[in-house]
Amino acid sequence: MKKLIQGLRAFKTNYVSTHRELLEHLAHGQSPRVLFITCSDSRIVPSLVTQTDIGDLFVIRNAGNIIPPYGAANGGEGASIEYAVHALGINQIVVCGHSHCGAMKGLLHLNKLQEEMPLVYDWLKHAEATRRLVKENYSGQYSEEELLEIAIAENVLIQIDNLKTYPVIHSRIHQNKLQIYAWVYHIETGEVLAYDPETHSYIPPQSQIIDSSPNVSANTRTIVSNAPPVACELPLAEGIPADEIEQEFAKVRESHLSSSKTRDIDALPWLSPEQAERIYRGSIGKNKL
């Protein structure tokens, strides 16, 4: 508690004093740019990882970054999703999993939780599709650590499938007014990889940002996705020239599109060969996003 109180004092002295105009503006209402859905794990700080400011992110956090399908639970997730998209007009959603996820560890040994943590057990049953997919497709072939990595990668995509069951989400996607992104954050390196629906691969997120129109400003880019492109309001990483990002995009996409069946996945050790094959080339359910 002492550390928290010291932090409050430092926040007021160092931040509030230099951001009074922003805070006064936010007192009149919020207009976040992104709905960020991630795990409650203390090692993930969305605003720190994305270097965003107060008011930029509308955040939903729970054990395992789980989104119960529409109508499956009366928790706060559904209400927060509906409010973010309908009331706040958010048109970008990030679902972010992470390495070493305790919820996914529990999911892989679900029955052991029933007696000691019945509420956790009930909650993780909303990720049953992830558990079953991993159990029926990967068990017996990989170590516990590898199965965990597979579950983390699979779960992000499956939760996006659940997200699409919400009427407000389905409607906005149908109107091409909403973009959804799948991220995996690596605690040990600070690296974030994003799922690319065109190559069915996890790639550096900046490689998904290209300029499709000469009228798009340097800080407003266009996202490539299965839906027609829409303007992305997220600013580019400060200090990275737009041409460098486009060059990186071209190299990454060329690499993925030209990859053979024996694709080298050494750069992504958290994916098994079968997992990479499925995600990279969509061998099971090609259009995950």
Pairing of strands 221-223, 209-210: antiparallel
The whole model's pTM is what? 0.75
Distance CA 56, CA 63 (A): 23
Q: In sequence order, what are the beta bridge partners of 96? A: 38, 183
The yes/no answer on whether domain 31-281 falls in CATH 3.30.70.20 is: no
Res. 206 pLDDT band, cuts 50 70 90: confident
What would the pLDDT profile of 57-72 be if each residue is shown by its tens digit?
999 999 999 999 998 8
Res. 93 pLDDT band, cuts 50 70 90: very high
What would the pLDDT profile of 221-261 be if each residue is shown by its tens digit?
222 233 322 233 333 334 445 555 455 555 555 554 444 33
Residue type, 205: P
Distances (CA, A) of 113 to 39, 63, 109, 123, 132: 19, 14, 7, 11, 17
Pairing of strands 34-39, 57-62: parallel
Domain spans, the chain: 31-281
Q: 162: alpha, beta or left, given left = phi > 0 and alpha = psi -120 to 50?
A: alpha
